[in-house]
């Protein structure tokens, strides 16, 4: 009988408990549109994500008082105290406001998990599409000049190709990903950042310092992650059309549609510049002529429990050339008129899929194909590269411990017509084929409300270099809600994959020489970061200060100095160091006056021993010691006007010279590019903008006798060489200062450190058609 009453009592308690569970629903919107995939939590105990219509629900919530917290990239966090009473269902409408600070943004690049920037143990900088609109550019490559500590470096005066430097480190040390997948690397690092439709970019996340612990090779200096928009979040149709007084024309279009549970966006980017200009009088184009088109398409599938499923693809084609003003395609590959002509065809595929399991398991892949048909004067460069990447991650929480386990594999195929892919023994073509598998484990430990630790370890296996270990450690101290201190330490590595398209060698000025068997580069890095958020909603400011120290072992540095006729690659017998400090200040006063100001001081140098065993310090070429960026904006809401004043400033860099008699300056001056823009918005759907780029009309030709060495004789037909291939030298190795070649030069376009494009006006319009 007692057992019977006990069972009845238990059933009654269970029934009363169920009756005490209540439902909370709501809809999240912003600026008249639903907000999908916003993170919603109650007292950090109950968590969910809004669906494609901005709807969320909690099925069973005990009665009581709760703090409702909603976060979404680009918007201010929403917090509200709510009470769940005896009502069966409580419903709430939430309207998010645009964020006044990037500190509140959601980031994923630091830990491969979506978290608020303030909560990430890894320092991540976030730049929205709205930020890059302050200085509109035809490509993301140029837009990155607005980011403090990041510099797009042009490597060729003729074809204007380049790479991205982070904290003074060259392009091969920077990994660029799209939606977390490695897309831009090696051969494609020069061209992959051109033609990404700006209409499809939601934000750009930047991690400075080694990220190899999560992303593997080539993330030794930093990571740039381009996050594309979700199909549910874009307007029905958008357009950005711009032209400049140099007759550059840009058309950037975006559209979306829905087929059942499938959502799709299409982006088309078209750029044309066909107006040869020679302002510095060397008979060479100041700006490379370009004709390119890029098509981007992304699909996402609406699934139960907001599980992710997306597939994106991009096709890119470009025809660019630079050279003598009278060059045309009939001269391609000939030795009558010099030109550098590059045809590029490229495709990319990116996929993400969350398994329909209770555990959070993600599958991701990317695949790229890159074909290049180039001529540099008479020198052909024909190359093909294919990269396939796959990754599986398992995200698991155990109380205060959060684990991320990942398996990754990368296959790289590379072939060209240079000696880089020739078997020196059999003299037959041998394309490079490398499979690089890896496994990584990351653990985040929330010690308490103020302290968080992160431990990570990655192991990669290379067929030649075998196992490569890259551990990392991070610590975050939340001093209070507005003050964060971080310290990160770790290692990075880069497997040898020399980008053989060296313009100086292809133009015939320098030969590439590789010494011995190159070993993987390794780095050891310590980074400290401090964030301080000040003020209120009407007068807000945020200060971000970082300091870093990176030690490089086995660094591969191109040597331009030992022999002016060669570029010599070898592992540095000594070591290299990159150290510095950067400061970012972000302010917002009354939603009218906004600013982003930053500066970086850095010391990048290599240390080696000379013949007398004395340590010699030398700064690498094209590495500045100081740089600064700013973006100042003021809005007149009643008039519908915004003024943007943007710019950057760079300190002196060491420049490559051809000979000891070269009359060009061995170092660059302090130089600055400044721009101003006026935007008139007529509604939330239509605006016109225009302004002036390079207000100071500054170009590197200023205070230099010439930029391109022997531009009048690009094929070196007027030079005589001795038996060793040297030109105009006597028995002592000194240059004979003849009337034909008084400075002992050969044709060389590698003396470049800044854009050659002078002042120009621009005008454009933006159109957004909402649902």
- Kindly state the percentage of the chain with pLDDT values over 90: 37
> 185-188 contacts: CB < 8 A, separation 24 or more?
185/218, 185/387, 186/218, 186/385, 186/387, 186/412, 186/414, 186/497, 186/499, 187/370, 187/372, 187/383, 187/385, 187/414, 187/499, 187/501, 188/346, 188/368, 188/370, 188/385
**Mean pLDDT, the chain, whole residue set:** 83
Q: Over range 245-258, report the average pLDDT.
A: 93
d(CA 198, CA 204): 11
CATH number for the domain formed by residue range(s) 227-711+747-769 = 2.40.170.20
- The three-class DSSP label of residue 421 is helix
Indicate whether 423 pLDDT > 70: no
Residue 598's closest CA among 625, 633, 628, 626?
A: 628
Which one, of 223, 235, 234, lies nearest residue 178 by Cα? 223
CB 537 within 8 A of CB 509: no
- For every residue of 372-411, DSSP letters joined together read EEEEETTEEEEEEEEEEEEEEEEEEEETTEEEEEEEEEEE
Query: Per mean pLDDT, which of 25-34, 53-62, 114-123, 221-230 is the most reliable?
Result: 221-230
**Ranges of each domain in the chain:** 2-95, 227-711+747-769
Provide the 10 A C-beta neighbour count for residue 428: 9
pLDDT tens, position by position, 704-717: 899 998 899 898 88
Share of the chain above pLDDT 70, in %: 84
> pLDDT tier at 5 (50, 70, 90 boundaries)?
very low
pLDDT band at 552 (very low <50, low <70, confident <90, very high): confident
**pLDDT tier, 107 (very low <50, low <70, confident <90, very high otherwise):** confident
Residue scoring higher pLDDT (12 or 644):
644
Parallel/antiparallel/unpaired status of strands 556-559 and 539-553: unpaired
Q: Identify whether the C-beta of residue 416 lies closer than 8 Å to the C-beta of residue 188.
A: no
Q: Is the pTM of this model over 0.95?
A: no
pLDDT at 468: 85
Place of tokens 């460069």: 381
User: Cα(768)–Cα(240) distance, rounded to whole angstroms?
Assistant: 9
Average pLDDT on 179-201 reads: 68
Instruction: Place 20 in a pLDDT band, splitting at 50, 70 and 90.
Output: very low
Rounded Cα–Cα distance for residues 367 and 649 (Å): 37
pLDDT band for position 670 (cuts 50, 70, 90):
very high
User: Closest Cα to residue 714, out of 503, 560, 561, 566?
Assistant: 503
User: What are the tens digits of pLDDT across the range 297-336?
Assistant: 999 998 888 888 999 999 999 999 999 999 999 999 999 9
Top CATH class, 2-95 = mainly beta
Of 116-125, 406-415, 526-535, minimum mean pLDDT range? 116-125
Strand partners, 680: 641, 688
pLDDT band at 597 (very low <50, low <70, confident <90, very high): very high
Tell me how far apart the alpha carbons of residues 419 and 415 are, in angstroms, rounded to a whole number: 10
**pLDDT value at residue 645:** 97
Six token digits for residue 409: 């594999």
What mean pLDDT is predicted for residues 722-728? 56
- Indicate the DSSP class of residue 729: B
DSSP string, 616-635: EEEPPBT--SEEEEEEEEEE
pLDDT for position 444: 92
Residue among 311, 317, 310, 299 at smallest CA distance from 349: 311
């Amino acid at each position: 009988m007692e057992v019977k009453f006990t069972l009845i009592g238990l059933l009654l308690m269970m029934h009363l408990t169920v009756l005490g569970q209540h439902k909370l629903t709501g809809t999240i919107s912003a600026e008249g549109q639903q907000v999908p995939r916003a993170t919603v939590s109650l007292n950090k105990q109950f968590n969910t994500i809004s669906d494609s219509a901005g709807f969320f629900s909690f099925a069973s919530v005990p009665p009581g008082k709760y703090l409702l917290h909603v976060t979404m990239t680009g918007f201010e966090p929403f917090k509200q105290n709510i009470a769940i009473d005896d009502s069966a269902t409580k419903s709430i409408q939430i309207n998010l406001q645009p964020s006044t600070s990037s500190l509140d943004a959601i980031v994923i690049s630091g830990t491969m998990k979506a978290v608020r920037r303030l909560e990430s143990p890894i320092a991540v900088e976030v730049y929205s599409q709205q930020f890059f609109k302050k200085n509109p550019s035809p490509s993301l490559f140029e837009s990155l000049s607005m980011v403090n500590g990041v510099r797009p470096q042009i490597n060729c005066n003729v074809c204007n190709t380049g790479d991205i430097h982070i904290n003074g480190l060259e392009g091969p040390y920077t990994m660029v990903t799209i939606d977390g997948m490695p897309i831009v690397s090696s051969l494609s690092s020069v061209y992959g950042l051109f033609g990404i439709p700006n209409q499809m970019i939601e934000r750009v996340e930047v991690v400075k310092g080694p990220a190899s612990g999560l992303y593997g090779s080539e993330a030794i200096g930093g990571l740039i992650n381009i996050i594309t928009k979700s199909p549910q979040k874009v307007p029905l149709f958008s357009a950005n059309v711009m032209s400049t007084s140099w007759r550059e024309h840009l058309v950037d279009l975006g559209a979306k549609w829905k087929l059942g549970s499938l959502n799709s966006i299409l982006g088309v980017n078209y750029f044309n510049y066909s107006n040869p200009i020679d302002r510095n009088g060397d008979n060479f184009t100041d700006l490379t002529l370009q004709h390119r088109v890029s098509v981007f398409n992304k699909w996402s599938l609406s699934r139960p429990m907001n599980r992710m499923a997306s597939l994106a693809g991009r096709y890119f084609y470009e025809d660019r050339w630079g050279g003598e003003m009278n060059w045309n395609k009939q001269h391609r590959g000939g030795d009558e008129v010099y030109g550098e002509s590059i045809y590029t065809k490229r495709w990319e595929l990116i996929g993400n899929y969350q398994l329909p399991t209770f555990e959070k398991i993600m599958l991701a892949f990317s695949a790229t194909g890159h074909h290049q048909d180039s001529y540099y004067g008479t020198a052909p460069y024909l190359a093909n590269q294919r990269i396939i990447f796959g990754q599986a991650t398992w995200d698991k929480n155990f109380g205060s411990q959060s684990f991320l386990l990942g398996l990754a594999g990368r296959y790289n195929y590379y072939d060209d017509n240079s000696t880089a892919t020739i078997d020196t023994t059999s003299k037959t073509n041998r394309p490079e084929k490398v499979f690089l598998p890896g496994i990584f484990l990351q653990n985040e430990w929330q010690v308490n409300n103020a302290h968080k630790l992160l431990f990570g370890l990655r192991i990669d296996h290379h067929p030649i270099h075998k196992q490569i270990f890259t551990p990392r450690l991070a610590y975050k101290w939340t001093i209070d809600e507005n003050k964060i201190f971080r310290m990160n330490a770790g290692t990075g590595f880069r497997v040898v994959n020399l980008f053989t398209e060296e313009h100086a060698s292809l133009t015939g000025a320098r030969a590439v020489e590789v010494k011995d068997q190159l070993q993987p580069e390794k780095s050891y890095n310590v980074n400290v970061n401090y964030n301080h958020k000040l003020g209120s909603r009407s007068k807000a400011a945020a200060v971000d200060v970082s300091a870093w120290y990176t030690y490089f072992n086995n660094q591969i540095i191109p040597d331009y100095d030992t022999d002016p006729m060669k570029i010599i690659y070898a592992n540095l017998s000594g070591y290299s160091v990159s150290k510095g400090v950067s400061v970012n200040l972000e302010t917002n006063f009354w939603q009218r006056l906004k600013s982003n100001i930053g500066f970086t001081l850095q010391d990048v140098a290599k240390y080696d021993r000379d013949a007398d065993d004395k340590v010699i310090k030398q700064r690498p070429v094209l590495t500045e010691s100081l740089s600064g960026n700013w973006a100042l904006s003021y809005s007149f809401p009643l008039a519908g006007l915004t003024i943007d004043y943007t710019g950057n400033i760079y300190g002196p860099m060491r420049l490559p010279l051809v000979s000891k008699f070269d009359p060009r300056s061995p170092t660059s001056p302090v130089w600055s590019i400044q721009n101003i823009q006026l935007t008139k918005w007529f509604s939330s759907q239509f605006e016109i903008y225009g302004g002036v780029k390079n207000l100071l009309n500054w170009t590197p030709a200023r205070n230099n006798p010439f930029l391109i060495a022997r531009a009048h004789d690009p094929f070196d037909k007027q030079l005589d060489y001795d038996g060793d291939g040297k030109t105009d030298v006597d028995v002592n190795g000194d240059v004979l200062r003849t009337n034909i070649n008084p400075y002992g030069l050969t044709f060389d376009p590698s003396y470049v450190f800044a854009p050659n494009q002078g002042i120009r006006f621009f005008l454009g319009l933006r159109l957004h058609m909402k649902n």
